[in-house]
A and B are shown apart, each in its own frame.
Chain A
Amino acid sequence: MEILIYGIINSIMLALMALGFALVYGISRVPNFAHGAIYVLCGFLTWIFVRSLDLNYLLGILVALVLTGILGALMYRFVLIRVRGMNISEIIASYAIGLAILEGLRYGGFKGTTHTLPVFVEGSIIIGDIPVDYQRILVVLIGVLLVAFLWLFTHYTRIGLALRGMAQDERAALMLGIDSDTMALVAMAFGCMLAGLAAILLLPLGNIVVEKGYDVLIQAIAVCIVGGLGSWMGAVLAAFLIGFAQILTTVYLGSHFQMVVALLAIIVTLILKPSGLFGQQKELEERV
């Protein structure tokens, strides 16, 4: 029972972390290695607004989200757009940006474990004699809503449909008058906002530390690779797979193994089936 409940919560948390990465890669084929840094940055932005500037919590969250979205757009417009299509330069450039953000934050004095965000709702509830706090329940609810919203958004709005067209076939989309750079820019801004949203939802559960940036990046990559790069539903399913695997190893082996599971999942998936469990990539593109 405990495993079931915490497995579900952990899975939704993983899915939240990974959605932004999956969205950006799925649409613009840019592996955004600055994902983890954006996540932490948004957390600290909210912290600054709420704790230092004494803004209203909701207002602070909104401003932080908008700022991260703008940052993502700028990152794409001024750096990534120039290296698009060159796989390795994309990775190096985005990873370097992430590194600069994270280490810059560390230099700026955001270290130690003193930075926390307030939870949205205090208190906890007992589900089948397991106490679960409201924040975690809220995470699950918002996670489910977000996935549903993304599905609706990509199936019924103009921008969403354009994004999906880009993801399926960029040239055909270009022919239909969809500007691929604008769409990639939108996707990047969206992806960063999703990372920020995940941060705002998940960070109240612990404290904000710079090191989390690297862990989030690894977990996001793990989820996206197991699910198949570029497949969103695959990412959600993979989040459940890895989420439960992590909880099981934590219960039976110890919490040290949590990251080992994510890393091994990446390596094993890539070796056995690089397109992931639900990927639609062509076999020839990734294997000789």
Chain B
Amino acid sequence: MDTQQQRKERLDRGIKVRTDGLYALMGWQELGYLTLPRLILIVGMLALPLLMPGMYWQRVITIVCIYALLALSFDFLAHFVGLVSLGGAFFIGVGGYFSAIFNASFGIPPLFSIPMATVSGAIVCTLLLIPCLPLRGVYFAIVTLMYPLALARVIEATDILGGTDGIMGIDSFSNSWVEQYVAIVLVLLFLFGLRRLVNTDIGLVVRAVKDNDQAVRASGMSVNFYKAGAVFIASGIGCLGGACLVHIYMWAGISLFALDFSILPIAATVIGGSGTLVGPVLGCLILVPISELLRDFGTLRIVFYAILLVCFVVFRSEGLMVYGERKYHQFERWVKV
């Protein structure tokens, strides 16, 4: 046996060690090292609508942002609170219907109906999910997967809220630029807001709930209170997405509860890198346009998605963002064992 055994050694770059956590920056180079990735994302997102060739692709950008909001809420709940919610469609649907009712029935303009729908939708979602909060792992996942399906069937069966026709005659945004920039700014706001949040004291407790809930309980804090708070935030983000979506389509219907809204954000999170919060946004930026390009192939694009998802879950479960971060922050070299 003369095969030489090697292993890959990974070392943090010096600049990473100096800038990480410690905010004692020594010069422009270190400042640049920290801000460059963030600036690329912010400037890139803000410039996207200007680079798009036409109305159609500008609309795609807005949809990307809606999905990104959902994916953010999924990632926050799943990897920082430990509640895997497969019910993105639930948040979208509740927020969407609320906004539709406020706007179409009471004549409240979008500027107010969207925030109102966000808050009231989040309250309703949280109230409905509170009984399920003590559930763990697969049980919570199944319950949240069933909520949107059940709501859609109830609306279909009882013919309330416009039944299968949905609610029509909803105001749109004043023009497509407003629509796009509202969505983009919201995504950036919640992305960096959530990153801040998980590092505050409350965020620490919430993360502790994920890692060891018994320890949190032993420290005299109510696990369910923090879980409910986190669900409120996450469902608020989801409802916001739904409310925006309704004003973009000028229509609210049962398709708001469609499985797409539950599956695609999860796929984006898995592909982008779970637990990074940036990853899901990145995943949406990759997946949604691909899905639009493949629209000609009909349902084959869902097959393509599903296979991609399986491959990532099985072979590359860390996701693109974690991979990228590692490459950015670390040297790699082969050393003899």
Contacts and interface: CB of A to CB of B under 8 A. Distances in A.
Contacts of A257: 157
B270 A266 contact: no
A273 B298 CA distance: 41
Interface string A92-116: 1101110110011011000000000
Given A83-B314, A88-B84, A264-B150, A100 B306 contact: yes
A166 B142 CA distance: 24
Given A88-B84, A93-B314, A288-B223, A103 B139 contact: no
Interface string A64-81: 000000000000000100
B141 A266 contact: no
Contacts of A90: 138
Interface residues of B, number: 45
A50 interface: no
Contacts of B214: 288
Interface size class of A (residues with CB under 8 A): 35 or more
Contacts of B305: 96, 99
Contact residues of B: prevailing secondary structure: helix
Interface in A169-187: none
Given A100-B303, A103-B306, A218-B146, A286 B135 contact: yes
Interface of A: 31, 79, 82-83, 87-93, 95-97, 99-100, 103-104, 106-107, 218, 221, 225, 253-254, 256-257, 259-260, 263-264, 266-267, 270-271, 274, 285-288
Given A82-B314, A100-B302, A260-B157, 19 more contacts: A31-B138, A79-B310, A87-B141, A88-B137, A89-B317, A90-B138, A92-B309, A95-B263, A96-B309, A97-B306, A99-B306, A259-B153, A263-B150, A266-B142, A266-B146, A267-B146, A270-B132, A270-B143, A288-B223
Interface of B: 78, 84, 86, 131-132, 134-139, 141-143, 146-147, 149-150, 153-154, 156-157, 213-214, 217, 223-224, 263, 266-267, 270, 297-300, 302-303, 305-307, 309-310, 313-314, 317
